[in-house]
Chains A and B, each alone.
Chain A
């Protein structure tokens, strides 16, 4: 089944404890992206990647890192999480690099930072 898989789906952590949210897609998509969803703010892009070893900042990259060593994986790293990073995170991928509106989303990872 074609899908985008995120782990963990739910996580409660404490300020400063490094964590990684994994994202994997099995559709051979070149484009991958991370978003956070917050009440009243909609979806905001954190980072995106056009291809392996190519990553770019989105609208809210502060406090996050990403890597794209393989085509299928695009982990989101929070080196020192803070409470303002409590959010619902979505990974997405797209088959087209030139028109990346056709996004396939994972089911989301709800992160709480205490």
Chain B
């Protein structure tokens, strides 16, 4: 499969911004995704970006895509305690495969 790299842990104070980074390998990926996994639950799709876009904003979430460096980031503004979770980036490859990163645990400190 494809290789998607993420750092593993981030702590952030409530109200601050958090930024999670990810690098991917397949330059032909059509879509790139961010998933959130809350404790004891399955993953939920947070947002995605089409590969011909540089940025996508959705309320408190901003996704930045640097295609040249194959770098994807997720910025969460005004981080809240409910944002404590593991965040996975993922890239599509082929027409029906999805490669996930190892996940980045975000801990929000009240």
Interface residues of A (CB under 8 A from B): 4, 31, 35, 40-45, 48, 50, 58-59, 90, 92, 97-108
B contacts, CB < 8 Å to A: 1, 4, 6, 8, 30-31, 33, 35, 40-45, 48, 88, 90, 92, 95-98, 100-103
Q: How many whole Å from A41's CB to the nearest CB in chain B?
A: 6
Complex CA–CA separation, A43 to B45 (angstroms):
14
Which residues in B have their C-beta under 8 angstroms from that of A41? 102
A42 contacts B31, C-beta separation under 8 Å: no
* Chain B residues with CB below 8 A from A106, complex form: 42
Bound form: Cα–Cα A92–B31 in Å: 18
With A41-B102, A43-B100, A45-B97 already in contact, the answer to whether A102 and B42 are too (CB < 8 A) is no
- Name the A residues within 8 Å of B88 (CB-CB): 42-43
Q: Is the CB of A99 within 8 A of B41?
A: no
* A42 near B102: Cβ-Cβ < 8 Å: yes
Establish whether residues A90 and B92, one from each chain, have CB atoms under 8 Å apart when the complex forms. no
Which one, A4, A40, A59, A100, contacts B92 given CB within 8 A? A100
Chain A hits for B30, CB < 8 A: 99
Q: Is the CB of B98 within 8 A of A105?
A: no
Query: What separation, in Å, do the CA atoms of A48 and B48 have in the docked complex?
Result: 21
Tell me the smallest distance from the CB of B85 to a CB of chain A, in Å.
13
Q: Is the CB of B33 within 8 A of A105?
A: no
Q: How far is the CA of A92 from the CA of B1 in the complex (A)?
A: 18
From A35, which residue of chain B is reached at the shortest CB distance?
B100
From B30, B41, B42, B97, name the one whose CB has the most chain A CB atoms within 10 angstroms.
B42
Bound complex: CA A92 to CA B97 (Å) = 12
Measured CB to CB, the nearest residue on chain A to B31 is A101
CB distance from B36 to the nearest CB of A (A): 11
Q: Is the CB of B90 within 8 A of A101?
A: yes
What are 30 A-B pairs with beta-carbon distances under 8 A? Answer: A42-B88, A42-B100, A44-B100, A45-B98, A48-B96, A50-B96, A58-B1, A59-B1, A90-B43, A92-B43, A97-B95, A97-B96, A98-B96, A99-B31, A100-B95, A100-B96, A100-B97, A101-B31, A101-B33, A101-B90, A101-B92, A102-B45, A102-B48, A103-B45, A104-B45, A105-B43, A106-B42, A107-B41, A107-B42, A108-B41
